[in-house]
Chains A and B, each alone.
Chain A
Amino acid sequence: MSSPFTFEGAVLWLGALATLAMYSVLYRENPVYRIAEHVFLGLATGYGLYVIWRDVLFPIWYKPLFREHHWPWILALVAGGMYYTIYSRRFAWMSRLVMTTMMGLVAGLAFRKFYGQFVPQIGASFKPLVVLVKGPAGLDWPGTLFASLSNVLFLVCLISVLTYFFFTVEQRSPLVRRTAHTGRWLMMIAFGAMFGATVMARLSLFIGRLDFLFREWIPLIR
């Protein structure tokens, strides 16, 4: 175990005590946990301020304006300042002006974003229902059957889930209702997959902490 009186040891011990302080909430709610939570909040806020200045405001605004004398950048200060009028009922229209302009910029990008993300998806959805898989001695029948059925399954899943979310007209036809119902069951499979993945993710984070506590701090894990 590292000595807390060396620098490396001090970092480890501080980290371990912070970790245990956070974990104390698992026993019950207590002041140590609350203090640790607020310390985290303060550190996060302070660090965020530092990085915003270091990587955004200093190189993009301060340096061009005050070192390179590109005077139009002062107007960015005005635009940023207009956001703060949100706290005043009288002047809040200025914050709305800036906010909606920024939202307009983002909205204008929606076409490009849809094209980039979803048009390839639409194209990739047109799969052949019969896929011929060639083997070393002619047609590979099991491979052909598996690939073709996979594509059919793909189509069934896609259409039934799309049908489930189709709310423009009422779903009266029995065929449409049954297709939507199938989509509901298929979505349960996807949600099961997401649940399994979520469990894996959360448990991994805990394993990371165990590694820190019992390999770096108290070397039980070698």
Chain B
Amino acid sequence: MLTFPILVFAALSVALVALALLHQAPTRVKRALTMATTFLAGLFYVVEFFVPPDPATSDAVVFGRNLTEMAATVGQVTQVVAGFTFLLGIYNLVFVHGYVIRRRREGWPNSVAFFISFLAMVVFSFWRDWKTWFGGANPPAWVRDPLPEHAARPHDVYTLLFDGLYRNLESTMFSILAFYIVSAAYRAFRVRTGEAGVLMVVAIILMLGQVPLGMALTNWIPASGQFAFFRVETLSQFILTAVNGPVQRAIGFGIGLGMLAMALRIWLSLERGTYFGQEE
């Protein structure tokens, strides 16, 4: 019974003692450790990729150790560590808005609105599923609606917050971009050079070729035959496939090679910057 708490305590203690000892070490030791862990972490996946897979299982097996199965555990660990870092963002938001309220800075009622909505969502979503995780009594019906006839849309506070508020606020926020793009197209899309002219002509062909009204402008051209190419939907598809396709591929090659080079620099600790070379 006690084995588990003892093991947990022991593991925590060992980890904290190791960190404390490392904290006392000189900067060059910490830097060397950082470089070593970065390299070893990357090496795992490099070996896992380059080792020829076992024909029976398609897994990478090195000296009897199945690296592909180990990768599953690594994936779980990174999920958990990344999950904890999400809380970092929440802490930051809470800190910033809390400061605004404490100092009564301009817009502090907005920060109060932030906290109210944040707490409301946290309380009602956790309360709703509390029994699933930790057992206990069923939540009241206004927190989690148990009726099967309401399965499509439960009549509870969580639904009000999610379907009523959150979904609509988010979709409206992004739909505002439609107005901004129309206004920007009117004010800023100026054909001053040949290249801009080409861009505009192609954009217009594509905008017409994607919608029924645009297609109706050229649907008098027969769908088969040598002139079918000039139907706006055929023309726009040709532009997308025959010109846009290779151009995007060439741009993609540049990006891909750049990312590979960057990854190599990070793996081999050749990169300098805030997270790599800066010490106190």
Interface residues of A (CB under 8 A from B): 7-8, 10-12, 14-16, 18-19, 22-23, 25-26, 31, 34-50, 52-54, 56-58, 60-62, 65, 69, 71-84, 86, 89-94, 96-115, 117-118, 121-122, 125, 142, 150, 153-155, 157-158, 161-162, 165, 183-200, 202-203, 205-206, 208-209, 212
Interface centre among B23, B107, B181, B249 (most CB of A within 10 A): B249
Can you add 15 more A-B contacts, CB < 8 Å, to A93-B34, A205-B175?
A: A41-B114, A42-B116, A52-B86, A56-B80, A62-B133, A71-B4, A81-B84, A101-B37, A102-B81, A104-B40, A121-B249, A153-B246, A187-B251, A208-B175, A209-B175
Choose from B194, B196, B275 the contact partner of A96 (Cβ within 8 Å). B275
Query: Quick one: CB contact mask for B168-205 with A, threshold 8 Å, 1 for yes?
Result: 11111111111111000100000000111011111111
Interface residues of B (CB under 8 A from A): 4, 7-8, 11-12, 15-16, 19, 23, 30, 33-34, 37-46, 49-50, 74, 76-91, 93, 107, 109-111, 113-122, 125-126, 129, 133, 153, 155, 159-181, 185, 194-196, 198-207, 210-211, 226, 236, 239-240, 242-254, 256, 259-260, 263-264, 266-267, 269, 275-276, 278-280
Pairs of residues from A and B, 3 with the lowest C-beta to C-beta distance, nearest first: A80-B84, A192-B202, A46-B121
* B110 and A35 within 8 A (CB): yes
Taking CB atoms, residues of chain A closer than 8 Å to B50 are 111
* A108 and B43 within 8 A (CB): yes
* A60 and B203 within 8 A (CB): no
* B33 and A84 within 8 A (CB): no
Q: A14-B164, A98-B81, A108-B42 are in contact. Are A37 and B244 (CB under 8 A)?
A: no
* B42 and A39 within 8 A (CB): no
* A110 and B264 within 8 A (CB): yes
